[in-house]
Amino acid sequence: MSEPGPPAQMGGGRSAASPAASAMELEMSETLLGEGRAPAKVILVGEHAVVYGQPAIALPVPGLEARARVFAIAAGPTRLLAQFPSAESRPPLELDLLAAADDEPLAAAARAALRYAGRTERTPWRIELTSQVPSGRGLGSSAAVAAAVVRAVGAAAEQDWDAQTVADLALEGERRAHGRPSGIDNTVVAFGRPIRFQQGRAEPLVVGAPLCFLVADSGRRGATSELVARVREASEARPGTYAGWFARIGQLVDDAATAIARGNASRLGRLMDLDHLILQAMRVSTPELDALVAAARGAGARGAKLAGSGGGGAIIALVDADGAAAVRAALIGAGAVDLIQVDLSATGADADADRVSAAPGAPGGPA
Ligand code: MEV
């Protein structure tokens, strides 16, 4: 995905620097100008290999979300105040966007959005962010907060940004948070629907029959940037082996997309199991994640694997709706500290004709 250009039309054309605007801003103190939300995400198949150009499938987790609101304040610079789900895992943040370091992920996403809106970090706005998405659990917390902030800034600037624009601007935060992200996390949280993603391009997933997943949190944190760096180092040390694993994961993803389209849950479960085996070989799983995977399978899940970067975080299990209770109990028994159910409903027969987005320059994509 390329850098977003300026919008064809800039809405909300008030200049933050003019005296008239300042007086107006003073009067509008505490006025809510815009709001943005974005959900958590889970990777169904293809993590890590997606960084190397292979496809992956990701799902939004609608019950968990980040929410940002932009208020007018008396004077600039733009400020960003963030509260995360747990102060122990991530303390509250207060940023002055003029002074914040360039490598601060949320500041980077907010600045990218302000500039795209034709604004600067001197705009007298206070961005308030809250998030329910725990960090370090493979649930896309950094992407969700970045996308929520971007959306709120767009709304405050009275500009109607499409999901691809939100994804591209949120990627600025992801780059600071993870080094070399594939772009899948910011894309799935911006679109808010299940996608097959490859090299900056997202397509909606065709779902032939409803599917039920359980996401189980191991309670251990994993740092995506470290895990991605670890896989990079290992792949540079053993290029042939890793190239083979990445290509095999890419095949599993395509087979999984076909299984989902056909509503073939038993095939999808087997593919998830195979993906977990390769992720284990890459040494991104942990004993806690393996125990959860084994417990889910032992209790009747059709398949299970770690979800996200690994090194901690969560697993995802495919369950039959009538067997979900037994798998839940087994996961809690095996140490899960939190469980989230993600349901995929069947898409219409014509959904495969409906491309979500295309990378700039790609056929059918923006110029
Ligand atoms: C993280 O959710 C998924 C990874 O593949 C990293 C990325 O795609 O940027 C591990």
Ligand 1, pocket-test mutation among 41, 45, 48, 282, most atoms within 8 A of CB: 48
- Tens of pLDDT, residue by residue over 63-76, are 899 999 999 999 99
- Tens of pLDDT, residue by residue over 299-314, are 999 999 999 999 999 9
Q: Closest by alpha carbon to 149, among 192, 96, 111, 101?
A: 111
- Tens of pLDDT, residue by residue over 241-279, are 999 999 999 999 999 999 999 999 999 999 999 999 999
3-state secondary structure of 304: strand
Q: Closest by alpha carbon to 336, among 297, 302, 293?
A: 293
Tell me the CA–centroid distance for residue 224 and ligand 1, in Å. Answer: 7
Closest-lying ligand 1 atom to the alpha carbon of residue 227? 10
Tell me the CA–centroid distance for residue 308 and ligand 1, in Å. Answer: 6
d(CA 63, CA 134): 12
CA separation, residue 155 to residues 12, 150, 274 (Å):
9, 9, 43
d(CA 115, CA 6): 8
Q: What are phi and psi of 204, to 5 degrees?
A: -65, 145
d(CA 177, CA 199): 19
Which pLDDT band holds residue 356 (cuts at 50, 70, 90)?
A: very low
Does 185 participate in catalysis according to the annotation? yes
Which pLDDT band holds residue 88 (cuts at 50, 70, 90)?
A: low
**pTM for this entry:** 0.87
Strands (E), 26-120: 32-45, 56-72, 79-83, 93-96
| Pairwise pLDDT comparison (30 vs 139), residue with the higher score | 139
Among residues 168, 185, 217, 273, which one is catalytic?
185
Tell me the percentage of the chain whose pLDDT exceeds 90: 81
- Tens of pLDDT, residue by residue over 4-43, are 333 322 223 233 334 444 444 444 457 999 999 999 999 9
